[in-house]
Each structure stands twice: as structure tokens, then as C-alpha cells.
Structure 1
Amino acid sequence: MNPSLLAPIAATGFAVAFLHAALPTHWLPFVLVGRGQHWSAGKTLSVTALAGLGHVAFTILLGVVLVGAGLAVQPHMGAVFGWVVGALMGALGLFYLWRGRHDHGEGDIKTRRYASDRAAIIALVVLLTLSPCEAFLPIYLAGVKHGWTGFMALSAVLMAATAAGMLLFTTLSLAGVKRLGLERIARYESTILGVALVAMGLGVAFLEL
């Protein structure tokens, strides 16, 4: 594995995962439920971290399947493999750009008070775990030629970016910061991801990242 070639993929992956984690659905429910259940800040952050771990674990599991399939077909495709991966990423990026023209941000996040802390924790963890970071999967695809070592490196990037985003914005909200300015991120997430994926697709196809 050439670290210099993996670096731009990892940097794009960090940006994608952090942006995804900045969406209110990844931290606001924990703040609202924590207040409703009268949790301490420490407990709220602990539950957030637990849910984030499940979120990342499920995404990594999907990544294992994707990378395994990529490594199986790569020897049979030779140099064409990079072009195919680049084209797929570019097509996905164009889809995100198209979707971004019709997105109007996330709807209001509604929550309720749970009968017990255990029920609240299970609900929060399960809901986020079963909503993987699908935007990161193309990053795994771009790193296929770097093998399982590259996969491990990208998984570490995913975990670091997700933890940083979720815990940062949960902490800021608990601290009483009202205006986080994330409405624009929620509204333009698809457009930003689309641009990033198209750029990465071009890099994979033409620069052999």
C-alpha cells in the first residue's frame, strides 16, 4: 500500500463521515432524550458514543462485503477496474447532486419520554445502528486497490470522524449553544457529497488514487 495515494481518499472519507455525523439526526435525539430522562451530560455523551459505535460497526460490516467483492473481481479486470470504480463513484455523485436539488433539509426531529432509561438507550442505539453511513461506502470502493490494510485505515478514519462529529455537536448542544449553523449542512448535504464523490471518481479514474 502506498500511503501517499491513500491519503486523499482518507481525507475525503473524513470529510464525508464528519459531515454525515454533523446532521441533527446523529446528535439532537440524544440531547432531547437525555433532557427528558434527566440524564447527566456524561451519561448522554456515553449513550451517544455507544450509538455511534453501532453506527460505525454496521457501516464497516457493509464495507467488508463491498471490499471483499471488489478484491474478488479486481484481478480479472486489470487496469479497467479503476475506470469502472471511478465511473460508479461519478454516477453516484451525480445522483447526490440531483437529489440535492430536491432536498429541503431534514424534517423536525420529534422524540418522546421513555418509560425507562433502558428503553431509551436501546431505542437510540438500535435506530442509529440500523442507519449506516451509506455515503462512506463509495470511499471503501475507492480504496479497494489498497487491500485490507487500506480498508482498516479507512475504517479508523470513519470511526474518528463519526465520533468527533457526534460528540462535538452533542457537547455544544448540551452546553447551551443554540445556533450551531447546521441547517445549511442538512439542506446541502447531498450537494456537498455529490461534488466530493464526483471529484473522487475522477481521481480514481484518471489519477489512479
Structure 2
Amino acid sequence: MSHDLVVLGTAAASIGFFHTLLGPDHYLPFIAMSRSGEWSLRKTALITVLCGAGHVLSSVVLGLIGISFGFAVSRLQIVESFRGSLATWVLIAFGLVYFIWGMKRALRNRAHTHLHEHGCRTSHGHTHDHNKEHVHVHKTDGNKSMTPWVLFIIFILGPCEPLIPLLMYPAAKSSFFDLWLVTSIFGLITIMTMLGIVMSSYFGISIIPTAKLERYTHAIAGAIISLCGISILLFGL
């Protein structure tokens, strides 16, 4: 193994890790949606891995096309920039729509009082909400079933910015094996980092008492997702 390949492999692992860690959009949407959608551990892990794979592979395919046809890196970066902007706005829009839907659902299910009158001219009231009573209805809600697909599409649109210019093109100058190895290292580290953060948060949040916020979980998830997109626009995360 050449010295250049060792350097590129190390760079791929480091960039993959820090690129994911410093980009909250790589994991916060899954943490938020797994909580609000009451996803199982298996479902959360599966969706995270699939979205991570789609995120990496979309840039890999674009990079391979560029390398095969001899396109300049600058031309591919224009495409990646457009994809990034599109994914960001879709993320913000999805978060806002989900937030609005979540708030409507929370307000509809807020605690309220019913008065009951009896024949002896007495009455009494009791307060309750419908969060638990109507769970069987909301489990089949279309918003929930479509959420994984929406996230998957967003992550396919979202580019891995450093992959093509910093890793794929330099590796391709040596051999196809170098290109494959460097790309695989970057992709594997990226997905493992996403999965590690999401799984840690999944178990961490499960031990935090959130009963009082239960009916706002969808709205909170939407706000978090939208804020992830806004942070990308403002800070380039």
C-alpha cells in the first residue's frame, strides 16, 4: 500500500467522521422522527443506514460520471451546490409542514372538560385528552408512513461536499482500487457515525421523562428538522 493511499484513506476516515459529526442534519432528523413516530430501534437503525447510504452513493455516482467523462471538478461542484441548495430547502419545507401538522394535532388533542347532567339537576365534569385514546387511528396516518421516504429523498438530494473534490478525484489518479477503497472508507465511516449518534440518542432520550411534551412531539420534530435546514443556510453546516 502506497504512502499516498494511506494518506487518502486516513483523510477519508477523518473527513467522513467530522463532516457527519459537525452536520446536525445527518442525525437530528432521525432522532426527532424516531421519537415522534414511535419508531422501533430496528426501524430507526434501518432508516438511518438507508438514508446514509443514499446520501453517499448519490455523490459517488456523480463523481464516477465526472471521472469517466473527464469533467472538471468545478463543473461537478456546481451540480453538487445546486443539489445541496435544493435538499436544504426541501428539508426546511418538510420541517415546517410537519411542524404545522404537529401543532394542529396537539391543539386538537389538548385536555378539555365534558359536563354531565343527571336527572336530579346535578352535574359534574371531567377533564381528559385524546392522545392515548386515538392512538390506533394515528398509527396509520399517511404523514407517518411517508416520512421515511421523504427523508430518503432529501438525503439522496443532499451531497457529500468533500467526497468528490478532496477524495475521489485524487484517488482516481492512481488506480480504480484506490478510488474504490477511499470511497468505501468515507462511506462506511459516514454511515457508522450517523448510526452511532442516532442510536446513542435513541437510548438516551428513552430514559428522559417527556410525558408533558407527549402531544407536542410531532411539532417539536418538525421544528428541529426545519432548524437543521436553516442552520445549513446560515452557517453552511
Q: Same fold (TM over 0.5)?
A: yes
| RMSD after superposition | 3.2
Q: Does 1:153 align with 2:181?
A: yes
TM-score (norm 2): 0.55
Task: Select the residue among 118, 129, 133 that pairs with 2:156.
Answer: 129
Equivalent residue number for residue 43 of structure 1: 43
Equivalent residue number for residue 65 of structure 1: 65
Task: Select the residue among 166, 170, 178 that pairs with 1:142.
Answer: 170
> What is the aligned residue count?
151
Equivalent residue number for residue 163 of structure 1: 191
SS in 2 for 1:143: helix
Q: Does 1:15 align with 2:14?
A: yes
Q: Which has the larger radius of gyration?
A: 2
- 1:159 CA displacement: 1.7
- 1:43 CA displacement: 0.9
SS in 2 for 1:155: helix
One-letter code aligned to 1:148: F
Equivalent residue number for residue 123 of structure 2: none
- 1:67 CA displacement: 2.5
- 1:39 CA displacement: 0.6
SS in 2 for 1:175: helix
Q: Deviations over 1:36-65 (max 9, x none)?
A: 111112211110001011111101102202
- Asked whether the equivalents of residues 10 and 157 of structure 1 are also in contact (C-alpha less than 8 Å), the reply is yes
One-letter code aligned to 1:32: A
SS in 1 for 2:61: helix
One-letter code aligned to 1:146: S
Equivalent residue number for residue 56 of structure 2: 56
- 1:190 CA displacement: 7.1
* Structure 2: gaps (5+ residues): 78-91, 103-140, 209-230
* Structure 1: gaps (5+ residues): 74-84, 93-106, 179-185, 192-209
- Asked whether the equivalents of residues 66 and 140 of structure 1 are also in contact (C-alpha less than 8 Å), the reply is no
Q: Deviations over 1:131-163 (max 9, x none)?
A: 020111111111122121111111211221111
- 1:19 CA displacement: 1.5
- 1:5 CA displacement: 2.0
SS in 1 for 2:199: helix
Give me the whole-angstrom Cα distance separating, in 2, the residues matched to 1:173 and 1:59: 27
Which aligned segments of 4 or more residues in structure 1 are displaced greater than 3 angstroms? none
TM-score (norm 1): 0.62
Give me the whole-angstrom Cα distance separating, in 1, the residues matched to 2:45 and 2:20: 14
SS in 2 for 1:39: coil
Q: Kindly tell me: are residues 130 and 169 of structure 1, through their superposed partners in 2, closer, same or farther at Cα, counting changes over 3 Å? A: same
Give me the whole-angstrom Cα distance separating, in 2, the residues matched to 1:25 and 1:7: 29
One-letter code aligned to 2:161: E
Q: Percent identity between the aligned chains?
A: 23
Equivalent residue number for residue 33 of structure 2: 33
Equivalent residue number for residue 200 of structure 1: none
Give me the whole-angstrom Cα distance separating, in 1, the residues matched to 2:69 and 2:175: 11
SS in 1 for 2:173: helix
Q: Deviations over 1:98-135 (max 9, x none)?
A: xxxxxxxxx9x947367344301100111011102011
